[in-house]
Amino acid sequence: MARFKIAAVCGCGMGTCFLAKMTIEKLVKRLGCEASVDPVDVGSAAGIDADIFVTTEDLAKALRVSPDKELVVVTNLVNQAEMENKLTPILMKLAKGR
């Protein structure tokens, strides 16, 4: 399976996105994918070259993501079930394209 670069975006890039990183890494491993997951604050996210950006609804409004990148919006960055439901289809879609 293809390797992806994922950005876990939170307000300050210090707490919640590290928890999101761990949640995403567990999911990616369980799916048999390979990915690097970078925790990043919303202000720095525009300068990150990632395939997928994962963030909350509030921060998604402030996040400027290139149209050729995937944006996954969740209500809770550490909810494993929600992350799986929203991120899995994106990973599978991207994997088919590579």
Output the domain CATH number for residue 10: 3.40.50.2300
Q: Tell me: pLDDT of 1 over 60.
A: no
pTM value surpassing 0.85: yes
Select, from the ranges 44-53, 62-71, 81-90, the one with the highest average predicted confidence (pLDDT): 81-90
Count up the domains in the chain and report the number: 1
- For residue 35, give its domain range: 3-96
pLDDT at residue 92 tops 80: yes
What is the CA angle 83-33-79, rounded to 5?
15
Helix-helix angle 16-31:80-96, to 10 degrees: 50
pLDDT reported for residue 3: 83
pLDDT at 98: 62
Identify the CA nearest to 95 among candidates 70, 64, 66. 70
The residues that bridge with 39 in the sheet, in sequence order, are 8
What would you measure as the largest C-alpha separation in the chain, in angstroms? 33
Across the range 59-82, mean pLDDT stands at 90
Per-residue pLDDT tens digits for 7-62: 999 887 567 888 899 999 999 999 888 899 999 998 888 888 999 999 999 899 88
Please give the DSSP secondary-structure letter assigned to residue 77: T
